[in-house]
Amino acid sequence: MPPAENRTAPRLPSPSSPDPGSPRGGTDGSADARAPLDGSPELLRAAFRRHPAGVAVITARGSRLAGFTATSLTSVSAEPPLVSFGVGTASGSWPVIAEAEHVGVHLLGEHQRELAGLFARSGADRFAPPTRWREGPEGVPLLESVPVWLVCRVVARVPAGDHRVVVAEVVAGDPAGPGRPLVHHDGCYNALRD
């Protein structure tokens, strides 16, 4: 889901401030007082704008370096250690991810808003200075100063609409880097609050 290529969703009416005269709005703002919206890309984007998510950058090396910002990263299994993430098949990173045997997964810190924005921007030279990175295990590009990095072996690419869900097994990593988590909510990158 966004911000994979920095898409923004149109604003739909807020459930907390319905129009009492609207067929969707009730005087108490309860979901039961409104007619549901039909399923659509706009509805999905609007719903997930309200769902905070951790921010990750996925990297890979093929004929070129590729990377993108992802909020779809999730833990799948502990035995074996598996993660998954979604990537759009129209994105510039997909051709490299489609062929890569290994990927880098980086959980970003609150000090890395600019890095998240750079890797979300279509057409950006994501690995040029000021981005700091090095070659890691399996030749995967690893970003510097992230709270967590993992190198993962791709085990599946599952078709899912205009995306692929990539499932990958963790083969190496460091979970002890600096910083508190960066989260994405309502179209913005934010620090996690206590």
Is 8 domain-assigned?
A: no
Where the chain has pLDDT below 70, the residues are 1-32
Is 84 domain-assigned?
A: yes
Q: What is the pLDDT of residue 8?
A: 39
Q: What is the pLDDT of residue 88?
A: 95
- What would the 3-class secondary structure string for the chain be? CCCCCCCCCCCCCCCCCCCCCCCCCCCCCCHHHCCCCCCCHHHHHHHHHCCCEECEEEEEECCCEEEEEECCCEEEECCCCEEEEEEECCCCCHHHHHHCCEEEEEECEHHHHHHHHHHHCCCCCCCCCCCCEEECHHHCEEECCCCEEEEEEEEEEEEECCEEEEEEEEEEEECCCCCCEEEEECCEEEECCC
Q: In which domain, by residue range, is 60 found?
A: 53-191
CATH of residue 79's domain is 2.30.110.10
Q: What is the pLDDT of residue 175?
A: 96
